[in-house]
C-alpha cells in the first residue's frame, strides 16, 4: 500500500491548526493576469489528450470513448475519456473493497495528511487548474479561481475535521467504566459530482469520504471528466493508495445506475438534478441480495432560489446582488437567483435599474475573461432557450431573450430578464439552470415570504431590507437551507456557510460544515468495565503458577 509522505516544506496541520479560506486571486494585478494567460496557453497545448480509467491503481482503456468539448468552441476537444460499463462497476467495487481493508485501518493522521498534501499541490498549480476549468466548462477567471479555492478549502477543512472527529469523546464517563465513542468508516461509496463545480464539489465529496476511511468509486460528469482525471493524477502524486479512489467515467443510465444498485455500495454522494437524485434515492432504498445494511444517500439536488427586495432596502446593493447572483457563471449554479421578488412600491424603478445594469454585462469567450460565457452543452442550450420561449408568454422581456451566434458555434445565450411574472408561472417554479431571471411583484412583506416559499425547493435565498423586524422574520420564515441577509445568495464559503438545502433541494447535507463528515461515518460506542480485565488477568496468572 502506498504511503503518504509530506515534503519538508509542507507545514504540519493538527486539529487545532486554524482554518482560513483560500484568498481570491486579484486578476487586475499584472502578475496574476500574466500568470493566468500563461496557464491558458499551456493548457491549450495539452488539449485533446486521452485519459484512462483508474481501477485499483491500474490504468485501463476501452473501445468506447466519452469526449469532452469546449462549450465556447464545441469543435475543440478538451479530453478523450474511456467509457466505463457495468463490467467496470463490478471491477471497481472489488478494487475498492480490497483497498478498504487497509485504508479503513490507516491512522486518521495519515489520511488527513493525504488531503493536506493534495491541497498544497493544487495551491502550487492554481492557475493551471483555473485554466482547465475555463476551457472545459466555460468559467471566467474569477469563477474558476473560486472553484479552485473552494477545492483547497474542502481539503484543508475536512482534513482538520477528521482529526477533530478522531478525538471525539462521550459527554460523560459512566462511573466504573471507560467509555469511548469512535467514528468508523462506512465502506465503499459512489461519488457522483456535477459539471458546474467540477473541481470543488467533486474533490470535496471524494475527500470527505476517503479521509473518514472509506474508499470511493468516482463517476464524474460526462460534461467535465477532464478535471476529475487531472485530480486523480494529482491524488496519485500525493500518494493515494491503489483502490482508495477509482476513477470511472461513464454514463449515468449505465455505469452510474450499476454502481448505485450494487449490493456492496454503502453510500452514494450525489450532486445534480432533482430527477436523477430521486432516482438514486429510490434505487438505494431497495435491498438487494447480499446487502446487509441500509444504504445512505447524501444528495444535493438544486433549487429555485429567490431574493426578496423590500421597499426599504438599499437599492444599489440589491440591484448588484441580484445581478451577480442571477448571472454569475451564466446562472448555472444551484444557488443562483432565478427569481427576484420585488415590493410593489419600488417595482418600476427596480426593473428600470435592473435592466440598465444587466445591459452592461459582457458575454464572450471565457478564455478572454468575459463576465458571462456559454452554457455547458447543446442539450442545456436547447433547454434554456425553450424556457425563454415559455417565459415570453408568461411575462415581459427586459433583457436578452435570445441566443448569441458566434463563428465557433458556442452555446451562448444572452442574459435574460423577464418581468411581470406570476408566482405560479412555469419559469417561476421550474429549475432552468441558465441565464434567466424572473421578476415577480409582491404586495407586501407577507406576500413576498409566501411567494419565496411557494416552490418545491429550499436551497438558498436572500433578502435586502433595512428593517430588523423583517430580517428577523426571514430568519424564521424563509424556508431555505442557506439564507443571506443583505448580500447575494451565491458564494457559500467553506466553514462560514455550511451548504445544503431543504425539501427537494436534497438532504441538507451541509457541505463545508462541522457535521458533514458524520454522514460518511458510523458511530461506535465502547464501554469497558473497570477492574474486570485486571482481575481476570490476575486469576489467569495464578492458574499458570506465575
Q: Is the model's pLDDT at 5 over the cut of 70?
A: no
CA distances from 448 to 323, 355, 462, 473, 489 (A): 19, 21, 12, 12, 16
pLDDT (tens digit per residue) in 81-115 = 999 999 999 999 999 999 999 999 999 999 999 99
Measured CA to CA, the distance from residue 507 to residue 513 in angstroms comes to 14
Q: Minimal CA–CA distance to 118: which of 239, 238, 233? A: 238
Residue 47 CA to residue 132 CA, distance in Å, equals 9
Report the C-alpha gap between 357 and 326 in whole angstroms: 12
Asked whether residue 318 carries a pLDDT value surpassing 60, the answer given is yes
Section 188-202 average pLDDT: 98
CA–centroid distance for 71 within its chain: 20
Cross-strand partners of 180: 526
pLDDT tens for each residue of 418-466: 999 999 999 999 999 999 999 999 999 999 999 999 999 999 999 999 9
Which amino acids are annotated catalytic? 300, 334
**Which domains does the chain possess?**
49-301+515-525 (3.40.605.10), 305-485 (3.40.309.10)
The arithmetic mean of pLDDT across residues 58-72, rounded, is 98
Does residue 7 have a pLDDT over 80?
no
Instruction: Give the rounded percent of residues in the chain with a pLDDT score beyond 90.
Output: 93
* 335-365 residues labelled b (16+ CB within 10 A) or e (exposed): bbbbbbbbbeebbeebbebbeebbeebebbb
Q: What is the pLDDT of residues 485-534, one digit of tens each?
A: 999 999 999 999 999 999 999 999 999 999 999 999 999 999 999 985 55
Does residue 537 carry a pLDDT above 80? no
User: SS3 of 94, please?
Assistant: helix
User: pTM (2 decimals)?
Assistant: 0.95
| pLDDT, mean of residues 215-221 | 98
Interatomic CA distance for residues 520 and 525, integer angstroms:
17
pLDDT digits (tens, 9 = 90+) for 108-120: 999 999 999 999 9
Pick the closest to residue 204 from 535, 409, 413, 492 (CA basis).
Answer: 492
pLDDT band at 540 (very low <50, low <70, confident <90, very high): low
Residue 515 three-state SS: coil
- Looking at residue 14, its pLDDT comes to 83
Which residue's C-alpha cell is 473552494? 150
Amino acid at each position: 500500500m502506498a504511503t503518504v509522505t509530506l515534503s519538508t516544506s509542507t507545514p504540519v496541520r493538527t486539529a487545532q491548526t486554524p482554518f482560513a479560506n483560500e484568498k481570491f486571486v486579484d486578476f487586475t494585478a499584472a502578475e496574476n493576469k500574466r500568470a493566468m494567460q500563461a496557464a491558458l496557453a499551456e493548457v491549450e497545448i495539452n488539449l485533446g489528450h486521452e485519459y484512462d480509467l483508474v481501477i485499483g491503481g491500474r490504468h485501463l482503456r476501452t473501445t468506447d470513448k466519452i469526449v469532452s468539448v469546449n462549450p465556447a468552441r464545441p469543435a475543440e476537444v478538451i479530453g478523450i475519456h474511456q467509457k466505463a460499463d457495468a463490467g467496470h462497476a463490478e471491477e471497481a467495487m472489488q478494487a475498492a473493497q480490497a483497498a478498504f481493508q487497509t485504508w479503513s485501518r490507516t491512522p486518521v493522521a495519515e489520511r488527513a495528511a493525504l488531503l493536506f498534501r493534495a491541497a498544497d499541490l493544487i495551491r502550487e498549480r492554481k492557475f493551471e487548474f483555473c485554466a482547465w476549468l475555463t476551457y472545459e466548462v466555460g468559467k471566467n477567471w474569477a469563477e474558476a479561481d473560486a472553484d479552485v479555492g473552494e477545492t483547497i478549502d474542502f481539503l484543508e477543512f475536512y482534513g482538520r475535521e477528521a482529526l477533530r472527529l478522531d478525538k471525539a469523546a462521550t459527554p460523560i464517563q459512566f462511573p466504573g467504566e471507560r467509555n469511548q465513542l469512535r467514528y468508523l468508516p462506512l465502506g465503499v461509496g459512489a461519488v457522483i459530482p456535477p459539471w458546474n463545480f467540477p473541481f470543488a464539489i467533486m474533490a470535496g465529496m471524494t475527500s470527505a469520504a476517503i479521509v473518514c476511511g472509506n474508499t470511493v468509486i468516482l463517476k464524474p460528469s460526462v460534461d467535465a471528466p477532464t478535471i476529475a482525471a487531472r485530480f486523480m493524477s494529482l491524488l496519485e502524486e500525493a500518494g493515494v493508495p491503489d483502490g482508495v479512489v477509482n476513477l470511472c467515467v461513464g454514463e449515468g443510465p449505465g455505469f452510474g445506475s450499476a454502481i448505485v444498485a450494487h449490493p456492496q455500495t454503502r453510500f452514494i454522494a450525489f450532486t445534480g438534478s432533482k430527477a436523477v437524485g430521486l432516482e438514486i434515492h429510490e434505487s438505494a432504498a431497495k435491498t438487494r441480495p447480499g446487502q446487509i445494511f441500509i444504504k445512505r444517500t447524501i444528495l444535493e439536488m438544486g433549487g429555485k432560489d429567490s431574493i426578496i427586495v423590500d421597499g426599504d432596502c438599499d437599492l444599489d446593493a440589491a440591484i448588484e446582488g441580484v445581478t451577480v447572483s442571477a448571472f454569475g457563471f451564466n446562472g448555472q449554479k444551484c444557488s443562483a437567483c432565478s427569481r427576484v421578488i420585488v415590493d410593489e412600491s419600488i417595482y418600476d424603478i427596480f426593473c428600470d435599474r435592473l435592466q440598465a445594469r444587466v445591459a452592461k454585462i459582457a458575454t464572450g469567450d471565457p478564455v478572454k475573461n468575459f463576465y458571462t460565457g456559454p452554457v455547458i452543452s447543446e442539450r442545456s442550450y436547447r433547454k434554456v432557450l425553450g424556457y425563454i420561449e415559455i417565459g415570453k408568454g408568461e411575462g415581459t422581456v427586459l433583457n436578452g431573450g435570445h441566443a448569441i451566434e458566434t463563428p465557433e458555434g458556442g452555446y451562448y445565450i444572452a442574459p435574460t430578464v423577464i418581468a411581470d411574472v406570476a408566482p405560479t408561472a412555469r419559469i417561476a417554479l421550474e429549475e432552468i439552470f441558465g441565464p434567466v431571471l424572473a421578476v415577480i411583484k409582491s404586495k407586501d412583506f407577507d406576500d413576498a415570504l409566501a411567494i419565496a416559499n411557494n416552490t418545491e425547493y429550499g436551497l438558498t435565498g436572500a433578502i435586502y431590507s433595512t428593517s430588523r423586524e423583517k430580517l428577523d422574520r426571514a430568519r424564521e420564515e424563509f424556508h431555505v437551507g442557506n439564507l443571506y441577509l443583505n448580500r447575494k445568495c451565491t458564494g457559500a464559503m467553506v466553514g462560514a456557510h455550511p451548504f445544503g438545502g431543504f425539501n427537494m433541494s436534497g438532504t441538507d447535507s451541509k457541505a463545508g460544515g462541522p457535521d458533514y463528515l458524520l454522514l460518511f461515518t458510523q458511530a461506535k460506542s465502547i464501554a469497558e468495565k473497570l477492574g474486570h480485565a485486571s482481575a481476570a488477568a490476575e486469576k489467569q496468572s495464578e492458574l499458570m503458577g506465575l
